[in-house]
Amino acid sequence: MAKCMKCGNEYDKSFEIKMNERIYIFDSFECAISELAPRCKHCGCIVIGHGLENDGIIYCCSNCAVSEGETKLSDSV
């Protein structure tokens, strides 16, 4: 059994994710998402979907991007 890097739970169905040449071990997608997913610069929510990005800054939606002064991004219609 491997130990989850987020919550510390030892679980027989744990899994590994390789990201940026580093290996992470988790016991659930919930822990993986909360540890690795980016957060919106404006509201801080976890961006699970595609989100919007410009110059390395990530937003969850165009409303948050506009609120930060972004003028080049928009949501899909």
Looking at residue 76, what is its pLDDT? 62
Q: What is the mean pLDDT of the chain?
A: 93
Structural domain spans, the chain: 1-36, 38-77
Looking at residue 77, what is its pLDDT? 54
Output the pTM of the full model: 0.80
**Rg for the chain, CA atoms, rounded:** 16
- Tens of pLDDT, residues 36-51: 999 999 999 999 998 9
Looking at residue 58, what is its pLDDT? 94
Looking at residue 50, what is its pLDDT? 87
- Whole-angstrom distance, CA of residue 18 vs CA of residue 33: 13
Say whether pLDDT at 75 is over 80.
no
Strands 52-54 and 22-26: unpaired
| Residues 6 or more apart in contact with residue 5 via CB below 8 angstroms | 24, 25, 26, 31, 35
